[in-house]
Amino acid sequence: DTGVSQNPRHKITKRGQNVTFRCDPISEHNRLYWYRQTLGQGPEFLTYFQNEAQLEKSRLLSDRFSAERPKGSFSTLEIQRTEQGDSAMYLCASTHVGEGNEKLFFGSGTQLSVL
């Protein structure tokens, strides 16, 4: 068990470019979340998956954001036509639903800077 892995750790991009982040959850975790966090704020829910099914995408999220979890294992989060307001830490977390308190295990995050 190597924990939740996120890549890259840092991403610097120019406004208008597309970016993609990857999350590898703890193996056998069936639920995966994506959150966005800005400095001094709490994690903001973006979307979550149960196995490969996307259960919900935040209504606050524009159509430029999309996420997949094609085989119920790793997940990708893509942001198209990035804007400066997308600059944030993007956190992935996973858990196994059905085992009690189902606490989230977080990755180290991907820090996105849009210039």
Partner 1 sequence: AQKITQTQPGMFVQEKEAVTLDCTYDTSDPSYGLFWYKQPSSGEMIFLIYQGSYDQQNATEGRYSLNFQKARKSANLVISASQLGDSAMYFCAMRERERDDKIIFGKGTRLHILP
CB of 18 to partner 1, least distance (A): 25
For residue 43, say if its preceding peptide bond is cis, omega within 30 degrees of 0: no
- When the beta carbons of 28 and 99 are compared against partner 1, the nearer one is 99
Which of 91, 94, 112, 114: binder of partner 1 (CB under 8 A)? 91
**Under rule CB under 8 A, residue 89 binds partner 1:** yes
Q: Cα-flanking dihedrals φ and ψ of residue 56, to 5°?
A: -160, 145
Answer left, alpha or beta for residue 67, where phi above 0 means left and psi between -120 and 50 means alpha: beta
Residue numbers 32-51 binding partner 1 by CB under 8 A: 33, 35, 40-45, 48
How many residues at the interface with partner 1, by CB under 8 A?
23
Which of 50, 34, 56 is closest to 109 using CA atoms?
34
Which of 94, 107, 101 is closest to 31 using CA atoms?
94
Catalog residues that contact partner 1 under the rule CB under 8 A.
Answer: 33, 35, 40-45, 48, 55-56, 89, 91, 93, 97, 101-106, 108-109
